Amino acid sequence: MFAQEQRTIEERIRAFLRQQGVPEPDTFPWAPLNLAKGTWGISINFFQLAADEARSGRLKGVPVPQRAAQLAQAVAEHLDDLPGFAKIEAVKGYLNFYFDPAVYSRRVLDTVLEQGDRFG
């Protein structure tokens, strides 16, 4: 259900990285966020990208974890207007996307109503 959202995020991240002159990764390491109190979402980390930058010599004296945190924060600021997300948060090199439950509940209900007996 969230493949389109991931593609949109990846496209926006790639555009941002190009704009900043940062090499783009081949793939993005997505992971689910299963949190308490009804919040849920997806997460991506920037450690491999920061490590690739370090190996290329682009990071002079900047530790990989620090660079991963910088990248996550910069991307979070760039993506602050994504629809369907209640919150986008950079935490220690990870970028967390929290789904807006109302938006996705509505999407599921609309699909069920549209498909009727064909749903499922």
Domains, the chain, with CATH or none: 3-14+30-115 (3.30.1360.70)
Q: Which pLDDT tens digit goes with each residue over 26-73?
A: 999 999 887 766 678 899 999 999 999 999 888 788 999 999 999 999
Residue identified by tokens 């996705």 is: 104
10: pLDDT confidence band, cut at 50, 70 and 90?
very high
- Structure confidence at residue 37 (pLDDT): 67
- Structure confidence at residue 106 (pLDDT): 81
Strand partners, 41: 33, 98
CB 98 within 8 A of CB 39: yes
Non-local (6+) Cβ contacts of 87 within 8 A are 96, 97, 98
Q: Which pLDDT tens digit goes with each residue over 22-32?
A: 999 999 999 98
